[in-house]
Amino acid sequence: MSDVKKVVLAYSGGLDTSVILQWLQDHYQCEVVTFTADIGQGEELEPAREKARKLGVKEIFIDDLREEFVRDFVYPMFRANTVYEGEYLLGTSIARPLIAKRLIEIANLTCADAISHGATGKGNDQVRFELGAYALKPDIKIIAPWREWDLLSREKLLAYAEAHGIAVDMKHKNGGSPYSMDANLLHISYEGRSLENPAQEPEADMWRWTVSPEQAPDQPEYITLGFSGGDIVAINEVAQSPANVLAELNRLGGKHGIGRQDLVENRYVGMKSRGCYETPGGAIMLKAHRAMESVTLDREVAHLKDELMPRYASLIYNGYWWSPERKMLQTMIDASQATVNGWVRVKLYKGNVMVVGRDSATDSLFDPTIATFEDDAGAYNQADAGGFIKLHALRLRIAARLQNKRGV
């Protein structure tokens, strides 16, 4: 007899987690509590409630976490201009610590003994979910069925579902989408099937959020983004909540073919993986945020942030959102954003985001009286540059003299 009496399952209502729900009941003979997070995946979630109820679940949580997701996870990440391995905007990675947090909250609320998830033993998500869970509740038991059962193929999952009378959408029976997909307000990802050949171009009909740049409007669209403390708070001078900002930028970016990515990344477990992503709103946010910082951040502060960003990105990608080192970096990053206030104007056109203007009425470090190519009326003494250059060249001159003496 298992010592697990109640488990909270991260439940989507799809094939995998529906099978997991039944398997937990059979294998552990325990009560299952389901948790479904609305983080902007764009799907109707009530069917998940009905499906869980039919499978005997009495405690069902379907939580709207969209504002929390963008406000407390996406926005802090974008304050650092975070990009993993030069390309990936971490759309899946940044959602996992929020889901782990809510799993633990529900486990505490329902007095559950364990939590469970549907991540496979090959991917990053198992690490992200479990590192987050252990950081928040160190003695929690975690059940990862993909590391325990023998249902290691789609055919075996379908057979299990049929044997237990688990309803399966026709799209699963017929193969459905040829891709493994994950969506939230920040992005949608595609993996598997034809994408497992990194030499093969993705099929044109794979993309769901963005038109191809070739089919995007022939006229550019200009938008103005208002910033406060490093976060976008308004679009075209209309105040918006964090979730509404991202949703609207997704709409605008998708319309203009912005935010498509096709990349091979290094997973934390050691393998390389090819994935395709659509992050239209995130692509606009990143470009605009860097433009806002360009006029409001001190040079050395900006450069230090850029040096630390790859480490910060790896922490998020690898699942260390709740770690002390990520929190420490976040404190520094957030402190740097106190002056990142103002507006940025961007032009959206055929897959491109182009910055065409930026200003801050209160915090701009751009001084036109010094930067001008015209007569600056003595604001900057150009003769000072000679001594500046000689001092910085001193070590180079000393080394060159020594080399000359040696005949090198």
- Residues taking part in catalysis: 16, 96, 125, 180
Q: What CA dihedral angle connects 287, 288, 289 and 292, to 10 degrees?
A: 130
CA atoms of 32 and 112, how far apart (whole Å): 9
C-beta of residue 259 within 8 angstroms of C-beta of residue 253: yes
CA atoms of 10 and 36, how far apart (whole Å): 6
- At residue 16, φ and ψ (nearest 5 deg) are -60, -55
| Owner of token pair 């389901």 | 34
CA atoms of 379 and 369, how far apart (whole Å): 7
Residue 213 burial (C-beta neighbours within 10 Å; 0-12, 13-18, 19+): middle
Amino acid letter at 29? Q
C-beta of residue 169 within 8 angstroms of C-beta of residue 137: no
Instruction: For residue 85, give both structure tokens.
Output: 């391995």
DSSP structure string for 359-377:
E-TTT----HHHH-SS--T
- At residue 339, φ and ψ (nearest 5 deg) are -100, 5
CA atoms of 269 and 310, how far apart (whole Å): 18
Which helix (H) or strand (E) segment holds residue 199: the answer is none
Question: Residue 157, Cα to own-chain centre: how many angstroms?
Answer: 29
272-278 vs 188-191, strand pairing mode: antiparallel
DSSP state of 195: G
Question: Residue 126, Cα to own-chain centre: how many angstroms?
Answer: 16
- At residue 223, φ and ψ (nearest 5 deg) are -135, 150
CA atoms of 290 and 339, how far apart (whole Å): 13
Helices (H) and strands (E) in the chain, counts: 14, 14
CA atoms of 258 and 247, how far apart (whole Å): 14
